[in-house]
Structure 1
Amino acid sequence: MDLGLKDAAAVVVGGHRGMGLAAARCLAEDGARVAVVGRTREALDAAAADLADRGSPDAVGLAADVTDASAVQRVFDEIGGRWGGQLNILVNAVGPESVGTFEDLTDEQWRAAFDGGVMGMVHCVRSALPLLRKAEWARIVNFSAHSTQRQSVILPAYTAAKAAVTSISKNLSLLLAKDEIMVNVVSPGSIASEALKSWAASVGVDGEDPYALMRAIDEHFGHPAHLPRAGLPEEIGPVVAFLASRRNSYMTGANINVDGGSDFT
């Protein structure tokens, strides 16, 4: 399906790895100009080269710590100058890295979860909005998580931050409706990310085997999907690409579960 993304201007925050990179690749393969934003220069350069090979004109990796509002603004100023002051797509795929029970987490860990998981998204949307409003069409896709609907006792800070992302996104969908800028959320389930594979290794499970991963999730958390395996990052990318595209012409304020089947409502 042609998503109408040829020469569209797209920024994927966290697009240098994992699910963010999978989304960036789908945008690139449909002809979008893609900038990926992250903190690791080597990974950014590798991602930009990969995206260029997949058909993205002027693919670029831009370094910024999204918890630093001034650094984020500099990145979007550069993007505006590079692409004519307009932006069609913003994807926020960065999430906090916070594991620990409520009793174990320190104040600093709570603050870090919200700085990285919420304020990073806020900074990016705030800086991108002038560019998005100037474009003929624009979309925002934010990453939440299935844990907002199915709790885990070791992820209270992470889950709280992702719940805030979902709430803010819903508010943005209302605010920006008058501009016909559509804002949606993707909530991945148990995806074989580097973090999940690292956890699997810590409990003696082969993280490269998605079936073994799901069995371990069932054993340790009691949260199996209906499908008997974990998902793969590349299974998230097409969903994000559709939501970010011109083909999505009437969906806004939605939270889309990509979870292998669950009892979510």
Structure 2
Amino acid sequence: MSAALPLAGRHALVTGAGRGIGAAIAHRLAVDGATLTLLGRGRDALQALAEALPTTAHARVLVCDVADAEAVAQAWRTLQEEGAAAVDILVNNAGQAASAPFARTSDDLWQRMLAVNLNGTFHCARAALPAMLAAGWGRIVNVASTAGQRGYAYVAAYAAAKHGVIGLTRSLALEVAAKGITVNAVCPGFTETDLLRESIANVVNTTGRDTEGARAEFTRHNPQGRLVQAEEVADAVAWLCTPAARSINGQAISVSGGEVM
């Protein structure tokens, strides 16, 4: 392992890797020398990303819905059956965001937000942890959100799920602190991704605002007056996976231009 390739020899699995923040994280971990497993629900997007990564990443694709506990267990069994190295680094990035006023938050919406954002994080951490404990080394990084640190109106289910992710992060970090494993959360503010651009388009369609006016609704939360870039989130995640971050444990690091301090 060299300073230039701090993750050489490490196997990283990224959930929700097909696009946006997940794809940026996969690129950055590959550049740092990790081999990659890309996990998500859309095979085509995952395969396209695998082909775009450096060949040194030896990227493999696993199609899996992290909300399904048995599907996650089967994904880990598949890795074993294929002779893959144990997962050293788990990045729980898969997530969904849906909005509704609290009075119109249905049971279905509530359960969907918990299922992918919180349950999915639990399922994957539970699957990855035994091998990390056996090796005496591991990194788990959960991509939460500033919504898990401060909350926003009209996203009660999403914010509750992301608060849960931060609570899970802190509790698990304490359990494994003396075992060579760190568990941390990265909490992006509004980040420029396809999903956010879709949200901006939705604001335009439902309110009649122009694109710039709709975009301003999202940038106003960031004291820097801009959207976070996916690569900035990826940089924070990658650093937490390196030996340099061995003393960082149980933290919820806000990547938001100072929105949360």
> Quick check: TM above 0.5?
yes
| Contact 1:39/1:64 (<8 A) preserved | yes
Question: Take 1:66 and 1:80, find their aligned partners in 2: how far apart are those partners?
Answer: 18
Structure 2 equivalent of residue 217 of structure 1: 218
Q: Counterparts of 1:49-88 in structure 2 under 5 Å?
A: 49-51=51-53, 54-82=54-82, 86-88=86-88
Shift of 1:57: 3.1
Shift of 1:206: 7.7
Question: Take 2:210 and 2:134, find their aligned partners in 1: how far apart are those partners?
Answer: 48
| Contact 1:166/1:185 (<8 A) preserved | yes
Secondary structure of the equivalent of 2:61?
Answer: strand
Counterpart check, 1:36 vs 2:22: no
Corresponding residue pairs, total: 255
Distance 1:65 1:105, change over 3 A: same
Shift of 1:13: 0.7
Shift of 1:148: 2.4
Structure 2 equivalent of residue 247 of structure 1: 244
Counterpart check, 1:228 vs 2:229: no
- State, as a whole percentage, how many aligned pairs show the same letter: 33
Structure 2 equivalent of residue 105 of structure 1: 105
Moved more, 71-80 or 158-167: 71-80
| Contact 1:98/1:155 (<8 A) preserved | yes
Distance 1:56 1:99, change over 3 A: farther
Moved more, 180-189 or 70-79: 70-79
Distance 1:155 1:243, change over 3 A: same
Shift of 1:214: 5.2
Counterpart check, 1:257 vs 2:254: yes
Deviations 1:41-71 (A, max 9, x none): 10111111122xx244321110011111111
Question: Take 1:251 and 1:83, find their aligned partners in 2: how far apart are those partners?
Answer: 31
| Contact 2:184/2:250 (<8 A) preserved | yes
Shift of 1:226: 1.4
Question: Take 2:84 and 2:111, find their aligned partners in 1: how far apart are those partners?
Answer: 36
Structure 2 equivalent of residue 134 of structure 1: 134
Secondary structure of the equivalent of 1:176?
Answer: helix
Secondary structure of the equivalent of 1:224?
Answer: coil
| Contact 2:11/2:85 (<8 A) preserved | no
Question: Take 1:213 and 1:26, find their aligned partners in 2: how far apart are those partners?
Answer: 30
Question: Take 2:84 and 2:226, find their aligned partners in 1: how far apart are those partners?
Answer: 44
Structure 2 equivalent of residue 123 of structure 1: 123
| Contact 1:16/1:36 (<8 A) preserved | yes
Structure 2 equivalent of residue 157 of structure 1: 157
Question: Take 1:44 and 1:206, find their aligned partners in 2: how far apart are those partners?
Answer: 33
| Contact 1:80/1:131 (<8 A) preserved | no
| Contact 1:87/1:134 (<8 A) preserved | no
| Contact 2:200/2:215 (<8 A) preserved | no
Shift of 1:133: 1.9
| Contact 1:9/1:83 (<8 A) preserved | no
Structure with bigger helix share is 2
Structure 2 equivalent of residue 148 of structure 1: 148
